[in-house]
Amino acid sequence: MNNNVRFALMFILAIAVWFGSGFIKTSDSVEPVTQAAISYTKVQVVNSSQQLFSRTLTMRARTEPNRAVNVLAQVSGKISAILAEEGSLVAQGQGICEIDAEDRHLRLKQAQAALENASIAYRGALKLKSVGYQSELAISQAKAALAAAKTKRKRAQLDVENLQVKAPFAGFVESRPVEIGDFIMPGQRCATVVELSPLKVEALATELEIGNLALSAGAEVVISGQTYSGAKVSFLARQANAATKGYRVEALMENPDQLLRAGVSAQLNVQLAAVQAHLIPASSILLGDKGNSVVRVLLNDQTVASADIAVVGETKEGIWVTGLPKEVVLVTVGQNYIIDGERVEPEFSISRLK
């Protein structure tokens, strides 16, 4: 065999070895790819169970007096005395302003005397009738005179009683625009009295919130960081405010010392009916394709599905949601990297959401 043939054979052998080594490397590299193709995304999951959750609706509010009344004069005359200063606390029936009596006491005595005279005349007419000396017309006239005398006496008595303009209920004299010497007419304001015990707390609820509220529902009021319990819902509006589109909600709270003032910003927390809900981590909530809130849940075949949820409360421990079954396996880590229908490799957390 000559040298040319020997070199040719060696060349062919080298090419064959080179191609053979390429096939070996190719087959080795295919195996990891195949293994990678059948591996699943690892996610962390946790078992979650429904439990009863007492919801609280929080609304911005403002304190208001339970009642605020303009106390008006019922007779005319000059103010002769001021019985209560602005800002003072008055009891129910306590006088605030006093009007000069003038001749009203004399008119009352005159009306009393006229009543006694009419009463005597009527009794005399009845006695004469019993013996046949008095007609029915005379009896009727005597009776009418007696009724008129009673009316005049009552009117004179009311004029005397109304000389003092009195507080209709216990409260504070918020303003008093008259002073001694001022002349006041019937219907003119003597003072404004406000009642701060109980104290009214007023808020606005949306059309979705108002349906969850009920009269006499318990509530808490937060004023300047201080929480006051024991309030109760006292009023729910049936018609929305034309400007704000909100429904007026009122609650009453105790204010025995009357230290809390009206017109102060507050927060009204109303206790709603309890619902069955899940407590889940806030990080597990995703935004759905339609802008809705969803979570990823693990099905029995280890595939993933999205479930719509509604947030009903928030605490330090997590978010309370409804819309999930009684028992569910929730994806808590890796939910951003999987899609519906994808098979995953779950790793169960030691803790269990309850």
CB-CB neighbours of 198 under 10 Å:
19
User: Going by CATH, does the domain composed of 57-64+197-271 fall within 2.40.30.170?
Assistant: yes
Phi, psi of 37 (to 5 degrees): -70, -25
265 touches 259 (CB < 8 A)? no
59 touches 268 (CB < 8 A)? yes
Instruction: Write down the pTM of the prediction.
Output: 0.67
- The pLDDT value given to residue 122: 87
156 touches 111 (CB < 8 A)? yes
- The pLDDT value given to residue 100: 96
- The pLDDT value given to residue 268: 97
- The pLDDT value given to residue 10: 67
253 touches 63 (CB < 8 A)? no
Residues 302/308/313/314 CA torsion (nearest 10 deg): 50
- The pLDDT value given to residue 28: 47
Phi, psi of 9 (to 5 degrees): -65, -40
118 touches 152 (CB < 8 A)? no
- The pLDDT value given to residue 354: 52
For the chain, list residues with pLDDT below 70: 1-11, 13-14, 16-38, 132-134, 350-354
- The pLDDT value given to residue 199: 96
Nearest to 158 by CA among 46, 95, 75, 48: 75
- The pLDDT value given to residue 27: 45
- The pLDDT value given to residue 26: 46
CB-CB neighbours of 102 under 10 Å:
15
- Helix/strand/coil percentages in the chain, nearest 5: 30, 40, 30
Nearest to 210 by CA among 321, 57, 314: 57
97 touches 83 (CB < 8 A)? yes
- The pLDDT value given to residue 322: 93
Domain locations in the chain as residue ranges: 41-53+275-348, 57-64+197-271, 68-190
Angle at 266 (CA atoms; ends 263, 270), nearest 5 degrees? 125
- Give the C-alpha separation, 236 to 251, whole Å: 9
Provide the CATH number for the domain formed by 41-53+275-348 in this structure. 2.40.420.20
- Give the C-alpha separation, 146 to 121, whole Å: 8
Domain 68-190: which topology? Answer: OB fold (Dihydrolipoamide Acetyltransferase, E2P) (2.40.50)
